[in-house]
């Protein structure tokens, strides 16, 4: 019986989304981070394919929010993004996880179908990767077993993760979706997200009007 776990890393609220500092005051950036985290956790739980969801962060406010959303909250055990993930993933593997989904906390368009699609692909591929919109970052990394490849988050992480899998002769499935690709880092990302959501709402309204003419 496969046991799929999820790991969601979150920076300290004071340092998160620093590229938005010129456009949003600290409390708005913190609210944005927590709101997106809550959305991701809600989707992960609603997918009903994950045995355990873990949030790892050095920030107690983040961990408290994770607990309120039904996730396990672990304080970072190592300094640096990849070392902190390695420490958490090692612990998860020791607890018996068969596969581990490491996923970004800033995916406002993430859907349940995205999570189920990743898990479905993992049945045939030990490595499943969802790239960011620009195609260079990694927004989701599903490995079977946990730590089948090392964490290589940072510049050009998508290609580095694919290369690491190839070096270990592990097959890779690349999953593209709006929900997993669309992360929020800049003010342009926020503007584009609002335009996208507005367009979807208008399309739904038009469809509703055509189905139910007045």
DSSP 8-state secondary structure symbol assigned to residue 148: S
Least confident of 18-22, 117-121, 193-197: 18-22
Residue 99 CA to its chain's centroid (Å): 15
Sequence length of the chain is 214
Which 3 state secondary structure label does DSSP give 67?
helix
In terms of CATH architecture, what is 4-183? Alpha-Beta Complex (3.90)
User: Does pLDDT of 213 surpass 90?
Assistant: no
Residue 20 pLDDT: 78
User: Average pLDDT for residues 63-70, to the nearest whole number?
Assistant: 96
Calpha distance 165→32 (Å, rounded):
34
User: Model-level pTM?
Assistant: 0.89
Per-residue pLDDT tens for 75-129?
999 999 999 999 999 999 999 999 999 999 999 999 999 999 999 999 999 999 9
- Alpha carbon distances (Å) from 201 to 140, 146, 198, 207, 208: 27, 39, 5, 10, 10
Question: Per-residue DSSP letters for 70-128?
Answer: T-EEEE--SSSHHHHHHHHHHHHHHTT-SEEEEE-S--TT--HHHHHHHHHHHTT-SEE
Residue 137 CA to its chain's centroid (Å): 12
User: Does pLDDT of 212 surpass 90?
Assistant: no
Tokens encoding 191: 């503007």
For the chain, the structural domain boundaries read 4-183, 184-214
Q: Which of 182, 174, 85 is nearest to 129 (CA)?
A: 174
């Amino acid at each position: 019986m496969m046991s799929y776990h999820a790991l969601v890393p979150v920076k300290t609220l004071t340092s998160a989304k620093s590229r938005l500092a010129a456009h949003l005051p600290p409390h708005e950036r913190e609210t944005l981070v927590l709101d997106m985290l809550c959305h991701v956790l809600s989707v992960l739980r609603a997918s009903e394919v994950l045995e355990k969801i873990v949030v790892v962060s050095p920030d107690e406010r983040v961990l408290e929010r994770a607990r309120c959303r039904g996730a396990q909250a672990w304080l970072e055990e190592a300094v640096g993004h990849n070392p902190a993930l390695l420490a958490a993933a090692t612990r998860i593997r020791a607890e018996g996880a068969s596969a581990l989904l490491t996923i970004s906390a800033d995916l406002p368009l993430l859907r349940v179908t995205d999570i189920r699609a990743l898990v479905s692909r993992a049945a045939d591929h030990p490595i499943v990767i969802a790239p960011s919109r620009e195609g260079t970052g990694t927004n989701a990394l599903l490995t079977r077993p946990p730590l089948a490849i090392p964490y290589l988050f940072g510049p050009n992480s998508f290609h580095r993760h694919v290369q690491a899998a190839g070096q270990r002769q592990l097959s890779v499935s690349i999953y593209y979706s709006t929900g997993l690709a669309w992360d929020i880092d800049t003010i342009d990302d926020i503007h584009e997200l609002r335009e996208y959501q507005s367009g979807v709402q208008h399309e739904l309204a038009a469809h509703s009007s055509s189905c139910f003419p007045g």
